[in-house]
Every structure is written in C-alpha cells, then in structure tokens.
Amino acid sequence: MAGLAGQLKERSARAELLLAVFLAVLLFPALCHARWKHAIIDKGTFLAVAVGNDGVSHYLYESESRAITHLAIDPEGKRLASEAIIGLALGVGNGQIAVDSHNHLHVVLSDSRLGLQYGFYDGTTWNVQDIPNSPPCVGAYLAVDDSDQPHVASFCDYQSPAIAGVYHLALNGSTWSYELVAPEPVFPPGVGALAAAGIFVTSDGTVHIGYTMEPAALCEAVKRSGSWTENCGCADVHADFLRLVGLVPMALDSAARPHFVYDAIANGLSAGLDYCYFDGTNWNTQTISTIAFDGALAIDSFDVAKVVLLEPSKPKSMTGGPTLAVYGKLQGTTWQFQTIARAPSLELVGMSLDPLGLPHAGATAPTFPNTFAVYAFLAEPDLTATWQSIETATNRRGALIVTGNLDVVNQGTAAGSGFTVKFYLSDSAVLGSDATFLGQKSVSLGVGAKTTLKFTFKPSGAVSGKYLIANITSRNPQNEANTANNTAAGQIP
C-alpha cells in the first residue's frame, strides 16, 4: 500500500513538472517577444479572473480539497494573497469574480445543491451568503454597478412562479430582487431562452444581459427606466443550437453594444468558433477559428475585440498532441494571433483586461493524476511622457536656443527597450501632419524606472507660443500597452 501511495505521489510530481515544463520552458523562446508570463496557480479547477483598477489580478478557483479559493497577483506576477472563500464546496458548477471601484471583491457561485451564493471581500474579511430563494441555477454571471452593488444573470428554474428562464438578480441594501428577463421554451421546438451569456451595468445604470435563444440565436436584453427591450441576432439557420464557449462569452464595447463568441453546432458537430457583434444597426458574424473548441472574449477601451482560444495542436482528424492557448485580437477586419502556451490538455478558459488593456487569462489543465488551475498574462512596457520644463535662451552668438526636459516613466509590467522618442515643433498641442520633425532619442527603461531626456534645438524663426511635442514609438508592432499617454505637448515661452 505504501508502495502504491509512493507511486501516485511520484506521478503527481511528474505531472506537475511536465505541465510546468510545457508552460514555461519549451515555448519561452517563442514567447519572449510577446512577454507572456504564465504559471500554475494550484491544483484545482479555474473558475474566473478579474483585474482591478490598481492592476492586481484576482483569480477564482476550486482547489484540490474542494475549497473555493481566491489568489491575488500583482502586475509583475508576484503572489500577494491567497485565501479560501468557502472551505468545502461540493456542488459548485461555475463562479464569477468582479472588482469594484474600491478594489473590493465580489463573487457569485452557482451551486447545484444550494442555488446561488454571493461573497463579498471588504479588504479584510470574506462574507458569504446564500442568495435567498434561489433554486438550482446554471451559468451565473456577475457585474458591479457604479454604486458597487452586485448584479447577477443566471438561468434559473424557479418553482414559484413556475417559470424557468434567464433572471436578473440585484442586491439593494440587504435585499435581493428577482425579475424574469427571458423565459425558456414552453415545449420543443418552441422559442425561448436557453442559457445566460453575461451581464453588464453601464455608468448610467442600464443593465445589459446576454443569453442564447432557441432556436440558434443570441440575444441581448437591455433594461432602461424599468423596462426591458430585446435585440436578437447571430442566427444560424444551419445550426441546431449555438453553444456558449469559455467562461466569458460576451462583452460590451464603449457604445454599450454586445459582442459574443460562440460555437454553432450542426448535426452534433462543431465548425469552430465564431464572433458576432451588433454595430448599432445590424448584426455581423465572422469566423475566428475553424479548430478552436473554447474561448473567452473582452473588448478594450479602444473597442478592439480580444480573445483567448484553446486549439488542438493537431488537426481534428488526428489524435494526440497538446492543447494550444492562443491569443487573438481583431485589427480592422482581420484576426491576428500568437501562441501563449501549450500544455498536455487545457479547458475552461477565462479572460479579463487590466487598466492598460492587456489580457490576463486562466484555464484548467487536466493532467493525470491531478488537475491544475493555471494563469497567463501579457506583460508589456508602457512608457509615458511629461514635460518637466521648456526654456528659451540665447547663445554667445545671440541665436535663440530652446531646451526641453522630458520625464519618461515606464508604468507598464515589463521592461521596455527599443523605444524612440521623436520631437516635433507644432503650431498646436495636437501632433498633426503639419508638425515639423526636429530629432529623436532612444530610450530603454525597466519596470517603474524613470529618466529625463534633455532635448535642445535652434529654431529658424519665431517659436514663442508654439508647441514642442514628444511622441514615444516602439519598434515592436505587437506592443499594446503603449497606446495612451505616449505623447506630450509643452508650450514654448
């Protein structure tokens, strides 16, 4: 018996080492340019990830001992805190985590025995409660409004009233409210809601809930001024139904328009993953990947759609081989992809964007004899420029000299090299085609580092009231973080 236990322990250690090698070593040369960082969270099943406005990422997972657990990781990948939220959870089907404006944490769990559970972390203590009267619910999604109050969307089978469907649940003070958003089909092949896909609350208090509709369509229900309106699209007449994929199948853009990633199933077969969005007038659909079997979606502040996909490393007609985690973003009408990592097996992928718009992802890696929750995030430099001073003087020959001192700081999560600061003279504070190029300097900065660049030029005419503009560019076209605050304009006295 002791020999068997020793063999199992050895297998467990070997499986963990194998997964770590797949994640960190074999692909490192291919990933160093993209600066993806990844590691094992713990033995267990990944549930969700959310990133706060301080850049700290929060991972929710079910540990090997069946405890619902939270792990916080700082922007550079250092573990900050880990604690069990619920000591023993036997029936949790899925969970979501959200970070409010005070960087406090909210979680919702769908439990097949207890219904829905809600947890809140005030920075010191977790408080968990059963959401009253909630029956068995499937696919609970969570959002926090501007007042830091939680909202939940889930497909629930309420007995009183006896109407099953997608529900909106909201906490008002200490009381939960319930309202039916879309009922399930009365009888096949009727028309009705089949599963919730996500929930969002915009700054004006408008609630957006996504869900799948029978037969084979995706819908968004919007609540304004107490009334719900429904908008359905992405219909596929060739599909038997649309399967929601991953743990984050829905997102909203800056105009609060819905975007979905899903799998159209026809005759029991998958054709890969599709992307569908509403542009304000029409629904638009395109294929993301013909071989991906799971994915998660997010939209950044520039309305760029980003996905993390799971794909087999070999064609579907072949067996064996590891699973690839692939990151993609929509550039115009074309998807661009890069490999994040590979593992013997991956499933249940989720994603959240940090304040820089960089993706943080998690997944589950079932590797015999253990299952691991893993994470990956894209670390990028983010160089910002601020004019410390701009002064004028005359040299010995009486010529006018303009000198500017520019502070450059790397506020990103990775060291920055190969950056160029270009200097322009402009009539306005906006860098346009009429600006005159003056010169450039190269800069490289570690995480959190700061430097001051001194730039001097001799103008050919009057420049008082004009602007000296510094613009930071990167030789790495994949650099995503350096998209804001990379231009500084200072007026010449």
Comma-separated ranges of CATH 2.60.40.10 domains in the chain? 383-491
Digit-by-digit pLDDT tens for the chain (493 residues) are 455 445 445 555 555 555 554 554 333 333 333 478 888 899 999 999 999 999 999 999 999 888 999 999 998 888 998 999 987 766 667 899 999 999 999 999 987 666 789 999 998 999 999 887 666 677 789 999 999 999 999 888 765 556 788 999 999 888 999 898 988 865 555 566 778 889 999 999 999 999 988 777 889 999 988 899 999 988 776 677 778 877 889 999 999 999 999 888 877 778 889 999 999 999 999 999 998 989 999 999 889 999 999 998 765 544 456 788 899 999 888 999 988 888 888 888 999 999 888 999 999 988 778 888 988 888 888 888 999 999 999 888 888 999 999 999 988 888 888 789 999 999 999 988 889 999 999 998 888 899 999 999 999 889 999 999 999 987 665 667 655 558 899 999 9
397 Cβ contact list (under 8 Å, min separation 6): none
Angle at 119 between CA 113 and CA 123, to 5 degrees: 155
Instruction: Return the closest-CA partner of residue 471 out of 408, 422, 406.
Output: 422
Residue 221: strand pairing partners = 209, 230
Full strand arrangement of the beta sheet holding 305-312:
294-299, 305-312, 323-331, 334-343
31 in helix, strand or coil? helix
Contact 339, 235 (CB under 8 A): no
Residue type, 254: S
For residue 336 the two structure tokens come to 């661009």
Residue 353: strand pairing partners = 359
- Type and span of the H or E element at 11: helix 2-24
Contact 181, 219 (CB under 8 A): no
Q: Which fold has domain 2-378?
A: Methylamine Dehydrogenase; Chain H (2.130.10)
Overall CATH class of domain 383-491? mainly beta
Q: Classify residue 82 by burial, with Cβ atoms within 10 Å: 0-12, 13-18, 19+.
A: middle
410 in helix, strand or coil? strand
Contact 177, 226 (CB under 8 A): no
445 Cβ contact list (under 8 Å, min separation 6): 381, 383, 408, 409, 410, 415, 416, 419, 451
Report the alpha-carbon distance of residue 387 to residue 488 in Å, rounded. Answer: 7
Report the alpha-carbon distance of residue 356 to residue 423 in Å, rounded. Answer: 24
Query: Which pTM was predicted?
Result: 0.84
Comma-separated ranges of CATH 2.130.10.10 domains in the chain? 2-378
One-character DSSP codes across 135-188: -SEEEEEEEE-TTS-EEEEEEEE-SSS--EEEEEEEEETTEEEEEEEEEPPSST
Report the alpha-carbon distance of residue 251 to residue 259 in Å, rounded. Answer: 5
